[in-house]
Structure 1
Amino acid sequence: MATMVFVNFPVNDLAASTTFYEKLGFKKNENFSDHNASCMVWDENFNIMLLVHDFYQSFIEERKVSDTQKTSGALIAFSLESAEAVKNFGELAKENGGHVYQVESGMPEEDGYGLEVQDLDGNTLEPMWMKM
């Protein structure tokens, strides 16, 4: 069995964040979703758990939930099939309220391309493509 990855993001507005990720192409898994969380599925191995702050807090004990608009705790990189797919992902994010920054890799675009995409709460994804 392949390893499944579940990235957990704290969010302020679960409904708005769920809609944002659906517009990026994620599918909501109702079996792992409720009023505290939305399980957003990219593929059979990669999932993002959107958790309301109180629920997220229950996993981290006395530590504070980061304000990801001001600080960065993680960059979640994942591969897409082409540079064009990365650009399309970034455009969808912008159209739906996200922020997008191009990653300067120092290599020509025909060898690799990446973006930093911040969701509505500042959580950061890095869609990327590299020529193999």
Structure 2
Amino acid sequence: MVFTNFPVSDLQKSITFYQKLGFKLNEDMQNEQSAAMMWDDNFWVMLLSHEFYQQFIGEKKLIDTKQYNTSMTAFSMDNVAEVKQFGKLAADNGGSTFHLELGFSEEQLYQLEVEDLDGNQLQPIWMKV
């Protein structure tokens, strides 16, 4: 299983955003500081308030994820249409998305760079294997 932890400024708005993308809230793993958003049984995004997230990084400073990037979490989807729909849902609900042309045809590989409300970056991808 993969758990990606994202710092968020407004937990409830972030929960709603991720639900609109197709993630399911695991209410058993939610409190006033965090929420577990399940894509499937193997991939979860953990939304953590800034204060709660800070506890996991010790003395390091939490950066503005709208200005700086420290990671990008890629995950596979079943087809190109699903990747495009994910990007559209993100853009329609306050996130942003762009496509980086890598020189592959859509029949080989297609990915998007998707940012949530706080600038945390996901990369939905379909690849012919």
Q: Hey, what's the Cα distance between the residues in 1 that align with 2:100 and 2:25?
A: 28
Q: Hey, what's the Cα distance between the residues in 2 that align with 1:66 and 1:82?
A: 34
CA drift of 1:31 comes to 1.1
Match of 1:12 in 2: 9
RMSD over aligned CA atoms reads 0.6
Match of 1:52 in 2: 49
Match of 1:65 in 2: 62
Residue of structure 1 aligned with 2:34, choices 34, 37, 61: 37
1:82-107: per-residue Cα shift (whole Å, max 9, x none)? Answer: 00000000000011000001022211
Q: Hey, what's the Cα distance between the residues in 2 that align with 1:103 and 1:48?
A: 23
Gaps of 5+ in 1: none
Q: Once the two structures are aligned, what percentage of the paired residues are identical?
A: 53
- Contact map agreement 1:103 1:113 (CA 8 A) in 2: no
**Alignment map for 1:1-132 (pairs within 5 Å):** 4-132=1-129
CA drift of 1:51 comes to 0.2
Q: Hey, what's the Cα distance between the residues in 2 that align with 1:47 and 1:41?
A: 4
After TM superposition, the runs of 4+ consecutive aligned structure 1 residues lying more than 2 A away are none
How many residues are aligned here?
A: 129
Counterpart amino acid of 2:86? F
Query: Which shows bigger deviation, 103-112 or 75-84?
Result: 103-112
Counterpart amino acid of 1:63? K
TM-score, normalised via structure 1 length: 0.96
Q: Hey, what's the Cα distance between the residues in 2 that align with 1:86 and 1:105?
A: 15
